[in-house]
Structure 1
Amino acid sequence: MNPPDPASVSDRLASDRPQNPSLIATTAFETATYAKVTWRLLPFLFICYVAAYLDRVNVGFAKLQMLSDLKFSESVYGLGAGIFFIGYFVFEVPSNILLHRVGARVWISRIMVTWALVSAASVFVKSPASFYALRFLLGVAEAGFFPGIVLYLTYWYPSMRRGRMNALFMIGIPVAGVLGGPLSGWIMQAANGVRGLANWQWLFVLEAIPSLVLGIVTLFVLPNGIRAARWLDARQKQLLEDNIARDGHAGVEASLKSIVSNGRVWRLAAIYFCCMMGLYGVSFYLPTLIKAAGVKDALDVGFLAAIPYAIAIVSMILVARSSDRRNERRWHLALAAVAAAVGLYASTLSTGNLAFVLVTLSLGTAGVLSMMPVFWTYPSSVLTGTAAAAGIAMINSVGNLAGFVSPSIIGWMKDVTHSTNAGLIVVAVALFVGAVLTLTQRLTSASADVSSPPRRV
């Protein structure tokens, strides 16, 4: 039987004791304080993530014209799309440790400005070598951003609130798809040949501008932590710090060596790898799959590509809320993985039927993206301090190697079989493996290796 959600228990206790005004006032004060923090932080972080994800995956739309212009094969594209994650992997852990040491404000700003400049430089791609080099450098530049934000949210929210907060932040991925699909399609249709640049070149330049602007703004609006937030009064800061301190007893402060050698952390990384196989299979090939279903106009491809992401926004929020309300993670994560596997496999059964392809890809996309906020409640619940910085970054970097494997496999298989179906089936199998790992492994992670009692998440 699932334990009750602590938030709902607190609310019931308050409603059962209307004669106790101090209890009601405290509950209302805490609710108002977290609402203030959320409205101050989440919209900005969300917008930053939309810009980040757009710059990472807009190569999927550039592919519609870039491959024919530059005479690239599908294998060259798949390797170039995926090599981003090699640079990302190498620099992820050092980047997150530096964020923990120097502060989120400066480091996140540095990350965003750097990746914007590298993304815009993709306009100069002429050969496979230059394509590979710039994709690798983009991974180096962006390394640490996503796990850095996950870590940053642990500075503000106790574990019982993180599922919802992670979801609010991570819906930046499907929103990037909803907004980026039509935008990218419009640029690809309208900007071809303007000032001597191809449409895919304009795509890289124009979509890098928001990241550059937001990176500069970060220096002025993002506090490093609770104490640095001028918009909170002393009482609000104390409440937030007390909740984090109380929640911190469930976590583990450990050395980097102990995190790297911890088998449970590696199992979490394996589950996340399976999730990322699905995410980047969708992200880098969704426009191609829609085009293969009979849609030729780039703007139409863009609008249709927004549909699976729009459905995923609703799915992410509902699954995360259900997981928080029931204080249950394992089955929510596993069932989302199964839904993703079924959707992506089913999309291969009738590739010429546009309606069928959209329905099945929507199921697959919603399943993949619903896994993410639930998954990230695990490492942020059992690790603290430097251990959290290193552990979250390690899990994310190892998991994101799937961003190299997934498009490389799909691209290579398409060159060999002249279809994306075989590659998508491999991705679906990986997602099913992720579901099995979730249900069969103990996911208490590092907390089971120390003297503190294990915590069910």
Structure 2
Amino acid sequence: MESSTTRQQLANLAMDKAQKKLVPFILLMYILAFLDRANIGFAKQEFQVSTGISDAAFALGAGIFFLGYAVFEVPSNIIMHHVGARMWLARIMITWGIVAAGFAFVTTEMQFLVLRVLLGICEAGFFPGIIYYLTYWFTASRRSTVMGLFYFGAPLSFIVGSPLSGLLMEMDGFLGFTGWQWMFAVEGLMATAVGIWALSYLVDRPEKATFIPEAEKQSLVAELAAENSQKPAGHVSAWKVLANPKVLYLCAIYFMIQISVYGVTFYLPTQVAGLLGKKVGLLVGFVSAIPWVFTLMANATIPRYSDRSGKRGILAAALMTLAGLGVVFSATGSPLIGIAALCVASAGYFSCQPVFWTMPTRFLSGVAAASAIALINSIGNLGGFVAPNLRVWAEQTFHSSAAGLYVLGAASFVGAILFLISIPMGIGSNTKPAVPADPATGGPRHAV
């Protein structure tokens, strides 16, 4: 009979293969998702000049994306649970890419708002779908590390996407189209192309994976089944779990994270342009990529440390505190200090989230996990609706551009406090890794 140690070793080999096969592809998907969601920040100035859209309408459009997104999150994840990740994630990408490209033809405020709502509806379920999809392939001992790799998508979308968006913006007048029209069209159609590719590339579950040997595959399936059987709320119904107090508390934490994150990312290019005293273009695009280089380094190390040490809530609270301080200090007029502060803020916000997403899967599995993850993401992402409007309100009320950043910093500190409270609740308490740490890599020790 296969020993538990042997089974764990074989399962680790299977997860190694799944990580090499699947993570780079879903990372590409997330890069395009984040690019299509945040490129509105690059278009802001030129887009408003061309269309006559007011600051208030732009802020409303930036945030209204999350209303359609939030409403359809839970149904989308439940549908994915039943029809499979391959088909559903491909459908999401194809439709959102088409809508994203449609922004190239916007001429009125109403068209802008309608397309932002449609974009949210089309993309609904993508992010929580990926989070849930990863639970099919990776045990808790690897989940924070793998999610950290997945979260490379946000910084990479800016490291690669910021110069790309800036370059496309400078194609103004080519073939009779403005720069912002080229940016929306090219980046949207890229997402559609990858969605079509996903139909032939993704695999729904380990049981269907032809790239994993049978013994390793069965060991991984057994390890995941054993882990899920020990989760206290693992078999709650898809709808009943939505009233679970721990799930609702996680919604509150994620809401504060997203207020902080999107209040910064929506306006990052224009904030950098203000610090440099330059127009948004290729130079601003390259400088805007600098904070995301630091974010990439943070995501490569901090989630791995979280898996190795088992620290969750206390680590996430520290990261949110640092990010909040970064946002506050980014209000300075000094380009050097301001950009350095944005580096700290973005690194803190994005390395915190892979750690956060290990928390709901500590006590949920199956369709209950699919439903809860979607609810947490949908409620949390309403922070993306609140953030730009809150920032504009603070700036107009206090007649200061710094006031908006101070409010976002305060939201980060509230999020840090909520993380600390989650520890005695058993949500964010430390957990020992399921397998010994490998001193060479910092992650779980794999079989050799």
Same fold judged by TM-score > 0.5?
Answer: yes
CA distance in 2, matches of 1:283, 1:180: 13
CA distance in 1, matches of 2:45, 2:60: 16
CA distance in 2, matches of 1:195, 1:296: 26
C-alpha spacing 1:413/1:71, structure 2 compared with 1 (3 Å)? farther
Mapped pair 1:246 → 2:229: no
Q: Which residue of 2 aligns with 1:67?
A: 48
How big is the shift at 1:358?
Answer: 0.5
Which of 328, 333, 341 is 1:360 aligned to? 341
CA contact (8 A) 1:74 1:412 kept: no
Q: Which residue of 2 aligns with 1:210?
A: 190
Which of 98, 106, 110 is 1:129 aligned to? 110
C-alpha spacing 1:194/1:413, structure 2 compared with 1 (3 Å)? farther
Residues 91-102 of structure 1 aligned to structure 2 (within 5 Å): 91-102=72-83
CA distance in 2, matches of 1:444, 1:101: 31
CA distance in 1, matches of 2:362, 2:430: 9
Equivalences, count: 426
SS at 1:149 equivalent: helix
Q: CA RMSD in A?
A: 1.9
How big is the shift at 1:256?
Answer: 3.0
CA distance in 2, matches of 1:444, 1:158: 19
Deviates more, 1:194-203 or 1:141-150: 194-203
Mapped pair 1:181 → 2:148: no
CA distance in 1, matches of 2:179, 2:398: 29
Q: Which residue of 1 aligns with 2:199?
A: 219
CA distance in 2, matches of 1:127, 1:415: 24
How big is the shift at 1:264?
Answer: 1.4
Q: Which residue of 2 aligns with 1:290?
A: 272
Q: Which residue of 1 aligns with 2:211?
A: 231
Q: Which residue of 2 aligns with 1:314?
A: 297
Deviates more, 1:355-364 or 1:286-295: 286-295
CA contact (8 A) 1:250 1:455 kept: no
How big is the shift at 1:418?
Answer: 5.6
CA distance in 2, matches of 1:455, 1:325: 11
Q: Which residue of 2 aligns with 1:118?
A: 99
CA contact (8 A) 1:378 1:444 kept: no
Deviates more, 1:423-432 or 1:245-254: 245-254
CA distance in 2, matches of 1:119, 1:435: 34
Q: Which residue of 1 aligns with 2:307?
A: 324
Q: Which residue of 2 aligns with 1:201?
A: 181
Unaligned residue ranges in structure 2 (runs of 5+): 433-448
CA distance in 1, matches of 2:96, 2:302: 31
Q: Which residue of 1 aligns with 2:327?
A: 344
SS at 1:192 equivalent: coil
TM-score by length of 2: 0.91
TM-score by length of 1: 0.89
CA distance in 2, matches of 1:234, 1:30: 11
Unaligned residue ranges in structure 1 (runs of 5+): 1-21, 448-453
CA distance in 1, matches of 2:71, 2:9: 45
The percentage of aligned residue pairs carrying the same residue is 40
SS at 2:107 equivalent: coil
Aligned-partner residue type, residue 271 of structure 1: I
Q: Which residue of 2 aligns with 1:428?
A: 409
Aligned-partner residue type, residue 225 of structure 1: R
SS at 1:256 equivalent: coil
C-alpha spacing 1:419/1:304, structure 2 compared with 1 (3 Å)? farther
SS at 2:208 equivalent: coil
CA distance in 1, matches of 2:345, 2:149: 20
